[in-house]
Amino acid sequence: MSESKPENQLDKKESASKSHEAEVEANPLADDLVGELVRRFGESYVIKSGMVGGVPSIQVDAQQFVTVHAYLKQHPNWQLNYQSCYTGVDYGEELEVVSYVRSSSLLHMVCLKTRVSKESPRLPTLTTVHPGANWEEREMFDLLGIEFAGHPDLRRIMLWEGYAGHPLRKDFVEPQEESYGPST
C-alpha cells in the first residue's frame, strides 16, 4: 500500500501543476519571479514554476537552492528576508524541500522548492542565508532523512539518537511495541 500511494500522488501532482500553468499568466508576481531568475541565472535554472495555493512557486536544482534564497533575499525588488515555513515532503522516488519566504517590507510571499532523490537526499544548508533554518533542517534530517551539507549541528532533534528510520517518509514502518526506547 505504501508503494502505490506515492506514485499515485506523483501523477496527481503532475496534473495539478499542469492545471496551474494557466494561472501563471494571470499573476504578475509569479511572472516577475520566473523572469527575474531566468534573467539572472539563465533559462535552465527554473525547473518548474506555477502557483501553489495562491502563492507563486518555483522549483530549482538542489545545488542552486541556497543561491536563489541568497539572491532573492538581497534583491531590492524581492527582499525575501523572512522564512515563514520550511519543510520537506516525501513523494515516493523523490523528497521535496519547500520553503515559504516572505518580505517583511514588501509583504509578498514566495514558495521556493527543490527536489532530491531518495537514494542520496543531500543538499546544501540554508542556515548561511536564514540562520533560523537550523532547527527546521534538523527536524527534516530527523523525520525525513534529508542531509544538509554544511549544517552547523546536524543531529536528530525530536527523536533519540539511534532511532531506526524516518517517520515522515511514506515507506516508514512503525516499529513493534518492544523495540521502542533508546537503543543504548
Q: Are 83 and 129 in contact (CB under 8 A)?
A: no
Report the site for another protein in 118-147 (rule: CB under 8 A): 130-136, 143
| Residue selected from 15, 44, 176, 184 as contacting another protein according to rule CB under 8 A | 15
Beta bridge partners, 113, equal 59, 98
Q: How many Cβ atoms sit within 10 Å of the Cβ of residue 73?
A: 17
Report the site for another protein in 54-93 (rule: CB under 8 A): 54-55, 81-85, 87, 89-90
Beta bridge partners, 55, equal 52
| Residue selected from 76, 107, 176, 177 as contacting another protein according to rule CB under 8 A | 107
Stretch that binds another protein, among 10-18, 28-36, 60-68, 114-122 (CB under 8 A): 10-18
Residue 47 CA neighbour count, 13 Å, CB half = 13
- Minimum Å gap between C-beta 171 and another protein is 13
What is the SS3 assignment for 83?
Answer: strand
- Contacts with another protein: how many residues (CB under 8 A)? 39
